[in-house]
Amino acid sequence: MENEIIKEKKPVVLSAIQPTSIPTIGNYLGALKNWKNMSEDNDCLFAVADLHALTVHPEPAKLRQQIYEMYATLLALGLDPEKNIVFIQSMVPAHAELAWILDCYTMFGEAQRMTQFKDKSQKHADNVNVGLFAYPVLMAADILLYQADYVPVGADQKQHLEIARDIADRFNNLRGQTFKLPEPYIGKIGAKVMSLQDPTQKMSKSDTNPRASVFLFDSPDLIMKKFKSAVTDSEAKVRYADGKDGINNLMSIYSGCTGLGFDEIEREFEGKGYGDFKVRVAEAVIEEIRPVRENFERIMKDKAYLLETAEQGAQRAGRIAYRTLQKAKKKVGLIVDR
């Protein structure tokens, strides 16, 4: 009898990103850069979470364009749509359908305690809609549909993963084993990138200061201009130390792009001023994101490829999601397809 080669099952990892705007280099160095490496050892699903973007009532034409751009960005990062499942959330109806079922297994108090709901309710007091309140349940559906083993989460999303586990656990206890309880994905920690104008604050896509954030598809000239205006200090010495938030941030960005440690960076710029350092950091960022920007521009010009790939990704995701949805519907007493 011939020896059979048994393929070891890889862990399933789900990652999703909202199409609110072009990612910053903070998003890239902190998470997106590592997504490609993550797919080497895992079965990965990457989603554009466009349904989540509806809570703030975006302008329809703008949202549609941002969805295309974010999907193209995922492909531009080198996430092979053959090797991974890269899809747009709203193209898989099971997300919304399972979310309603899970709504009925989520306690009001649980959803009310979500920190993000409290924060956004204060920031958007004129638009505290039910979608904003139920946002974590839709996120739970996103994860549980694919029986994900792991989900990469930042500190601001940790609470959402916890409620997803609580909902799954409650459903399983009441209706029998249906959902896998996801764990946080602990991978390579990317650089934590702060604002170029206020290095005590995280770099943000929504910062009102145009010089504070560098976006993934900024032109090389604009990137150079933003780094040259970055806030530093009066010491004029490139070293990592307490009280040097601006330089520490630039060193983190340079390290994220070059792979150099802080000691190596200090030696490289020994005797050189901040002007030289800022230019070199800008050059490193420009070179780091150049292939992503070039891929993005090429993909956005080929609308047929973009749409075809999105449809194929949705079909592949849909097949997995459908099986889980049917199982959940049967468990709660709904009529399922034969």
Query: Which residues are part of the catalytic machinery?
Result: 120, 202, 205
Report the chain's C-alpha Rg in angstroms.
Answer: 22
